Amino acid sequence: MGVDFIRKRGFEAVGKPLASSPEEQNILQYQKADALTRKVIAIIGDFQKLNIRKVMIYCNSLSAAIDLELVRQKCSGTNIVTPLQVYRNLASRYRRLMIWAANGRCLETIEKILYENNPAIQIIGVSLLPVINAIENLDRPEAIVDKFNLAGLVLKGFNPEGLVLGCTHLPYLREKLEEELSVPVIDPAEGMLWDPVFAD
């Protein structure tokens, strides 16, 4: 999905998945985060041998699970961007946000970034791994939104100013969500692409 996203915007891209399914990714993130960090370092090392010096870690939950500081230290000379960098900017622009993520670890990390940058922000968050699986299966967006009552998850009493798609699978549903919701749907992927660390 990350490679498709970048290519559609006119850039060249190569990709390397770290797991074969959302369930495997979830297990790695919760039970083998150190091994996952080493795997990311090795992949970036392979990219460096090919003189690829810009890396987008497209996955929110992967970015939340690995030791990003260690990755940056071991992979110096490569510009690395993740969705987590985008959330710092969101914090100053909103007072109330609804966040959807693939798992609780990712949701916690996004919330922490938002609260660190705006202690007054109000957040309601949900983790949606079964929805991510449905997207992996390429179920129709309308069917997924209906099956999981996703429009109903945006709480009317809370009145969020935006819905943050805290998993890079979720833009698959964006068009259908925008039809059904009265709040902006925020996709951090665009912010990653134009982040100064990555765009230079």
Q: Please say if the pLDDT value at position 21 is more than 90.
A: no
If pLDDT is split at 50, 70 and 90, which confidence band does 75 have?
Answer: very high
**Both structure tokens of 13:** 């891209």
pLDDT digits (tens, 9 = 90+) for 114-134: 999 999 999 999 999 999 999
Q: Please say if the pLDDT value at position 195 is more than 80.
A: no
Query: Judging by DSSP bridges, how do beta strands 185-186 and 54-56 pair with one another?
Result: unpaired
CB 79 within 8 A of CB 200: yes
Q: Choose among 65, 102, 110: nearest CA to 83.
A: 110
Distance CA 17, CA 20 (A): 7
Q: How many CA atoms lie within 13 A of 24 on its CB side?
A: 7
**107 burial level (CB within 10 Å; 0-12, 13-18, 19+):** buried
Torsion of CA 122, 162, 60, 80, to 10 degrees: -100
Q: Where are the beta strands (DSSP E) in the chain?
A: 54-56, 79-81, 96-101, 122-127, 163-166, 185-186
If pLDDT is split at 50, 70 and 90, which confidence band does 23 have?
Answer: confident
CB 148 within 8 A of CB 177: no
Name residue, tokens 């699970």.
65
**Both structure tokens of 81:** 């961007």
**Both structure tokens of 135:** 């997207």
Q: Please say if the pLDDT value at position 6 is more than 90.
A: no
Q: Please say if the pLDDT value at position 194 is more than 80.
A: no
